């Protein structure tokens, strides 16, 4: 969770612009009520943790706006009142496979501070806000990235196109030109985010009408458009792969600048096949059934209570009405049946955390006050059925426990030495590497569970025998998650025969007929098995797993000298041949 530090002098200036008196004493209670723990609140600043579901609280300005409505300073407008602009951005067709979503806005007349110190604090605050949005909504710039520029240093109309790695411009904080390739390999920001551009030979560039480079998203801005203490008019670009994330980032940056007296203008984005206008500052209306509010909160709220509660959260109750058109029977929580009461509630579009009427109910509860809700047990009963995958996993665990195995849980992170070199297993397609591993032990996502079990046995090799363990968990092959399970038993007298008995018991419990099983020998050094004592399990032509006696050469690499038998099964393959008796 990101922690933000709020400077009282900045908050006072923002509240002054909006004709509101800043009262830091009240903020502790407010932040606690909305679920943001306060770490420090002294005469200089406030340190708070902002939960991922409230990205609209990641800046001085947006937090100040949210506080005004909650602390009953004023009723907030759910619309951003965006002025119609005259500028356009032309987008080249080549952006479709590189950075397909492009949004933009212009904000003029921003009051950045009374003196040079205040202006410098504003720039730092703006940069912090931008990076926190990159981290949260943008998923480290993968889903969305933001560029903020000095509008007076560029000339519209703007255009977005792709260029080759040899293209040169002066990046932010540099004095000379660098090629795209040099930026990705030598510039600190380029090195940090180069992985976002690794699968392309063409790179997105935003230019003005005089071919000045505004930005190289999602990596770095051009030096020419650097925001300074003199900047009052801003050009904002947001690019990425996720529309919801891009729109939320754009709106929140615009909202922060609007809180400082700025006027937002939209732009027309001209794509080869369509034109869009951004940003859209209109609020979103949600239909919330009265029965849903009563069911979740455990009490009835009248219209005035709902209105006051949602107003404190920055929303507005538009109307309450009887449903005259809709289903006669509710199939989901949020369905309004004919004859029931529904509330039309308007919420700001920048509240990207609201995705369902249940989120509105949560806001009503916060605005009303959790301490006012009745103390009673939940009366909600939801009928459900288990996923087929969960049902299969339950059956497998039950079978393994019946064999006297103890369940363990290990890390999904591993390394190539344990996964492949020591166990002699081949790689199953593409290995998923960790971009910034913190140790040599955790450099990839595992493809097999058995090596993790051998490590656990190794860590407990001085304990009493026998040791019988299993794990059912995730592995990752070709960047896709899959479920497998494995067991490993360190015991005197155990061997291939014991392992085969385990396999037959598991197969029986999964409802597979014994005569359908075919055991095929495993070739030498094709896995951790001792030659002649390892086998593949084939059912209906599908290999569902392997088992056998661990080769002492493999065991010794883990510091184990006790006989070990083990097995590894692919649940995805098992599902192809084992029917669920409950279906």
CB–CB of 446/419 below 8 Å?
yes
CATH number of the CATH domain containing 53: 3.30.56.10
The answer to whether residues 34 and 120 belong to one domain is no
Q: Which of 322, 474, 456, 484 is nearest to 396 (CA)?
A: 484
What confidence score (pLDDT) does residue 581 get?
53
Whether 270 is in a domain gets the answer: yes
The answer to the question of residue 79 being in a domain is: no
Residues 192 and 57 in one domain: no
Same domain, 352 and 398: no
What local confidence, expressed as pLDDT, does residue 41 receive?
77
- 121, 203: one domain: yes
CATH code of 410's domain:
3.30.930.10
User: Residue 377 falls within a domain, yes or no?
Assistant: no
Residue 75 lies in a domain: no
> How far is CA 180 from each of CA 95, 144, 169, rounded to the nearest angstrom?
16, 20, 8
363 shares a domain with 431: no
Neighbours of 79 (CB within 10 A): 13
Residues 398 and 510 in one domain: yes
Is 102 a member of any domain? Answer: yes
Q: Which residue has the tokens 């968990």?
A: 473
Q: Which of 343, 372, 401 is a domain's end point?
A: 372
Q: Would 478 be classed as within a structural domain? A: yes
Domain shared by 40 and 175, yes or no: no
Q: In this predicted structure, what is the pLDDT of residue 382?
A: 65
Contact of 164 with 172, CB cutoff 8 Å: no
The answer on 259 and 143 residing in a single domain is yes
3-state secondary structure 278-308: ECCCCCEEEEEEHHHHHHHHCCCCCHHHHHH
d(CA 430, CA 413): 15
Residue 313 is part of which domain span? 284-372
Question: Cβ distance 554 to 422 under 8 Å?
Answer: yes
Residue ending a domain, choose from 244, 278, 312: 278
Q: How many domains does the chain have?
A: 4
Which residues make beta-bridge pairs with 445?
Answer: 413
Taking only the tens of pLDDT, the chain with its 583 residues reads 678 888 888 888 888 888 877 676 677 777 777 777 777 877 778 888 888 788 999 999 998 898 888 887 677 888 999 999 999 999 999 999 899 999 999 999 999 999 999 999 999 999 999 999 999 999 999 999 999 999 999 999 999 999 999 999 999 988 899 999 999 999 999 999 999 998 899 999 999 999 999 999 999 999 999 999 999 999 999 999 999 999 999 999 999 999 999 999 999 999 999 999 999 999 999 999 998 898 888 888 999 999 999 999 999 999 999 988 777 676 676 777 888 899 999 999 999 999 889 999 999 999 998 888 888 776 666 667 777 678 888 889 999 999 999 999 999 999 999 999 999 999 988 999 988 888 888 999 999 999 999 999 999 988 888 999 999 999 998 888 999 999 999 988 878 999 999 999 999 888 888 888 899 999 888 899 999 899 999 998 899 999 999 999 999 999 988 899 999 999 989 988 887 655 4
Placement of tokens 């590497």 in the chain: 433
| 398 and 546 in a common domain | yes
Residue 582 located in a structural domain: no
Residues 289 and 270 reside in one and the same domain: no
Do 47 and 132 have their domain in common? no
Whether 66 and 118 share a structural domain: no
| DSSP E strand stretches across 386-510 | 406-407, 413-414, 444-445, 467-477, 480-490
Q: What angle do CA 256, 140, 204 make, to 5 degrees?
A: 90
Beta-strand ranges (E) seen in 381-528 are: 406-407, 413-414, 444-445, 467-477, 480-490, 517-521
Give me the pLDDT at residue 583, please: 47
CATH number at residue 184: 3.50.40.10
The beta strand positions in 436-479, using DSSP E, are 444-445, 467-477
Last residue of a domain, one of 316, 345, 372: 372
Give the SS3 label for residue 254.
Answer: helix
Domain presence at residue 337 = yes
pLDDT at 580: 62
Tokens of 367: 């605005």
Q: Rounded to two decimals, what is the model's pTM?
A: 0.72
């Amino acid at each position: 969770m990101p922690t933000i530090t709020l400077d009282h002098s900045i908050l006072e200036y923002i509240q002054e612009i909006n004709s509101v008196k800043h009262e830091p004493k009240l903020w502790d209670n407010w932040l606690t009520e909305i679920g943001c723990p306060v770490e420090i609140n002294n005469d200089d600043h406030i340190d708070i943790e902002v939960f991922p579901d409230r990205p609209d609280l990641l800046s001085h300005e947006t937090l100040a706006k949210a506080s005004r409505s909650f602390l009953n300073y004023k009723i907030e407008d759910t619309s951003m009142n965006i002025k119609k602009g005259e500028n356009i951005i032309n987008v080249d067709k080549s952006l479709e496979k590189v950075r397909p979503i492009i949004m933009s806005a212009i904000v003029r007349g921003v009051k950045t501070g009374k003196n040079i110190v205040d202006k410098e604090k504003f720039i730092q605050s703006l940069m912090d806000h931008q990076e926190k949005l990159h981290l949260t909504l943008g998923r480290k710039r993968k889903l969305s990235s933001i560029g903020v520029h000095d509008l007076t240093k560029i000339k519209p109309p703007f255009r977005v196109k792709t260029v080759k790695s040899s293209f040169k411009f002066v990046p932010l904080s540099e004095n000379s030109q660098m090629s795209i390739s040099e930026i990705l390999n030598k510039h600190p920001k380029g090195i940090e985010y180069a992985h976002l551009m690794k699968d392309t030979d063409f790179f997105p560039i935003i230019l003005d009408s005089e071919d000045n480079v505004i930005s190289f998203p999602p990596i770095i801005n051009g030096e020419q458009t650097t925001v300074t203490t003199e900047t009052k008019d801003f050009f904002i670009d947001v690019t990425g792969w996720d529309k919801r994330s891009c729109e939320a980032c754009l709106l929140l940056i615009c909202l922060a600048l609007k809180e400082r007296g700025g006027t937002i203008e939209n732009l027309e984005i001209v794509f080869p096949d369509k034109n869009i206008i951004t940003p859209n500052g209109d609020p979103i209306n949600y239909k919330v059934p009265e029965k849903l509010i009563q069911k979740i909160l455990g009490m009835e709220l009248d219209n005035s209570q709902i209105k006051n509660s949602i107003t404190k959260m920055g929303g507005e109750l538009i109307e309450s009405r009887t449903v005259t058109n809709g289903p006669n029977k509710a199939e989901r929580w949020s369905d309004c049946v004919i004859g029931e009461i529904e509330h039309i509630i308007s919420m700001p579009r920048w509240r990207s955390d609201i995705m369902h009427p249940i989120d509105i109910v949560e806001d009503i509860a916060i605005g009303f006050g959790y301490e006012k809700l009745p103390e009673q047990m939940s009366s909600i009963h939801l009928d459900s059925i288990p996923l087929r995958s969960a049902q299969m996993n339950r059956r497998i665990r039950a079978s393994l426990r019946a064999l006297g195995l103890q369940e363990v849980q290990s890390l999904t992170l591993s390394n190539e030495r344990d996964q492949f070199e020591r166990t002699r297993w081949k790689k199953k397609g593409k290995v998923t590497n960790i971009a910034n591993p913190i140790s040599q032990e955790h450099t990839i996502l595992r493809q097999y569970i058995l090596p993790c079990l051998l490590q656990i046995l190794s860590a407990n090799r001085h304990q009493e025998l026998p040791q019988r363990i299993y794990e059912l968990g995730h592995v990752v092959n070709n960047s896709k998650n899959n479920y497998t399970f494995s067991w490993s038993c360190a015991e005197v007298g155990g061997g291939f025969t014991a392992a085969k008995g385990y396999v037959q018991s598991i197969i029986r419990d999964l409802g597979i007929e014994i005569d359908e099983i075919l055991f095929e020998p495993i070739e030498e050094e094709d896995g951790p098995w001792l030659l002649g004592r390892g086998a593949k399990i084939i059912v209906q032509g599908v290999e569902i797993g392997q088992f056998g006696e661990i080769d002492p050469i493999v065991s010794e690499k883990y510091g184990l000298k006790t006989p070990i038998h083990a097995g590894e099964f692919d649940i995805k393959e098992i599902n192809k041949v084992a029917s669920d008796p409950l279906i």
